[in-house]
């Protein structure tokens, strides 16, 4: 039911439901920090191994070894998407620790945006014949993992009493 708590404008009912950044929200926080770190490392790796080396020329200069017209837009899409992800995660962490009511909506947008970026990237790469030589990992597996992540965490955000009670400011 809840308990009555005195306030500046009289008594208010405080629910007994969980509240605060504990519980499963700890995993959300860990996931955001891991995403931030791994994405920053990915951007750094891109600039040191691709953009700042002869690899860029091999992939984006007509007449070079593995040139394809889609390499330049694909690589630029990837780096821009990763920069946006870093900025979005930083914004999400600010919203999270300030317990802002818009946090759950932005978190859902973030998860769906990640899924969309992976799908667009996979479509772009699938149209480049030599992409398997340059890109490691299984794109279908990555999309499936991200889809599962979306299903789990979006459902949690939408149904959790802790989320509903915590992000009220």
Spatial contact of 69 and 129, defined as CB atoms under 8 Å apart: no
Nearest-angstrom CA–CA distance, 33 and 132:
29
Nearest-angstrom CA–CA distance, 75 and 79:
6
Residue-level pLDDT, tens digit, the chain, 169 residues: 456 566 677 766 555 678 888 999 999 999 999 999 999 999 999 988 888 778 888 888 898 878 899 999 999 999 999 999 999 999 999 999 999 999 999 999 999 999 999 999 999 998 988 887 666 668 889 999 999 999 999 999 999 999 999 998 8
| SS3 label, residue 4 | strand
Q: Which residues partner with 13 through β-bridges?
A: 4
Which DSSP string do the residues of 66-126 spell out, in sequence order?
A: T--TTHHHHHHHHHHHHHHHHHHHHHHHHHHHTT-TTHHHHHHHHHHHHHHHHHHHHHHHH
Domain ranges of the chain: 23-166
pTM comes to 0.84
């Amino acid at each position: 039911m809840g308990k009555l708590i005195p306030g500046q404008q009289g008594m208010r009912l405080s629910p007994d439901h969980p509240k605060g950044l504990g519980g499963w929200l700890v995993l959300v926080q860990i996931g955001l920090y891991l995403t931030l770190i791994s994405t920053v490392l990915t951007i750094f790796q891109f600039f040191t191994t691709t953009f700042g080396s002869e690899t860029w020329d091999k992939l984006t200069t007509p007449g070079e070894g593995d040139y394809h017209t889609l390499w330049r837009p694909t690589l630029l899409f990837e780096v821009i998407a990763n920069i946006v992800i870093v900025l979005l995660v930083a914004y999400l962490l600010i919203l999270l620790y300030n317990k802002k009511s818009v946090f759950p909506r932005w978190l859902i947008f973030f998860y769906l945006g990640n899924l969309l970026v992976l799908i667009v990237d996979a479509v772009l790469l699938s149209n480049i014949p030599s992409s398997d030589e340059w890109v490691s990992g299984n794109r279908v597996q990555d999309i499936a993992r991200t889809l599962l992540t979306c299903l789990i965490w979006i459902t949690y955000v939408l149904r959790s009493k802790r989320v509903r009670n915590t992000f009220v400011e």
